[in-house]
Amino acid sequence: MDLGIWGMGRMGFNMVRRLVEKGDHRVVAGNRSPGKVDDAVKQGAEGAYSVEEFVGKLEPPRVLWSMLPAGEVTEDMLRQFTEHADEGDIIVDGANSYFRDSVRRAQEIRSKGFRWLDCGISGGIWGYDVGYCTMVGGDADAFEHVESALKTLAPKDGYAYLGDAGAGHFAKMVHNGVEYGMLQAYAEGFEILQKSRYDYDLRAISHLWNQGSVVRSWLLELAEDAFERDANLEKIAGYVEDSGEGRWTVLEAIEEDVPAATIAGSLFARFASRQEESFAMKVIAALRNEFGGHAVKEASTEYEK
């Protein structure tokens, strides 16, 4: 199928690569910085250096997919899509947008005659190799139109249509809230081990737990990799940002009277990390760098993945 992806960041660029290399798709790649477009062209995509060119290179019904960061930049790009698109075209928001914004945007976009999809995408810097788990909300007929691309992007059984506008981003929001809690549990456990009377090799513990243990996981495999490079995470500051989804999950839990103590506690622990150093926060910072390429703050020397 034909589709366009605007935003050649870590995920957008690798999504273009996967679509071109692993599926029968014609992909138009757009980006504000022309160098990123040139890189995508080298991977087999067609390049577009303006939104007008981007839309013009696609035939109706177009798939106009934004892979920009959530917030005002996405809001502006979706508006630009609507200025150049035709009725019946499909506008896709692949950012980690707040689901309430997605519901509002869908109403606005549908009122102009366009179709809407919100895609919550998990896969980070590893998505090109292992696939992108994709949670989709919006217009059912639009989902059917883009399903072949979603199938190429995802691993087996790794995508699903979940309901009307906002459903995809709501599911991704909760997914990231759960991620907060999992990271916090691992982090606290490793800090208890690290401060104990025993001289544990934390890489070895991570490897051991991944051999049939009930707590084995991909995150624990990433912990093993992080500890192998820096046994005590001495090069990483225990400072952890939050990108919004954890806060939104806690707010929705409050709205729904759900006692989400673990997720709330993990969010507040991130706030605490910005005030004082802790080994648990080093673990979370290292794991976020492993699975998503998220920047880490330097401790004494530069930490490079």
CB neighbour list of residue 8: distance below 8 Å, 6 or more residues apart: 16, 29, 30, 31, 33, 36, 37, 39, 40, 67
d(CA 96, CA 119): 8
Sign of the alpha-carbon dihedral angle for 217, 20, 289, 174: negative
Which residue in 36, 46, 75, 172 is the catalytic one? 172
Q: Is 241 in the active site?
A: no
Among the options 46, 179, 188, 224, which is catalytic?
Answer: 179
Q: Decide if 136 contacts 206 (C-beta within 8 A).
A: no
Residue 73 parent element (H or E): helix 72-84
Residue listed under structure tokens 């996967």: 18
Residue 302 bears catalytic tag: no
Amino acid at 190: F
What Rg value do the Cα atoms of the chain yield, rounded? 21
Active site residues: 172, 179
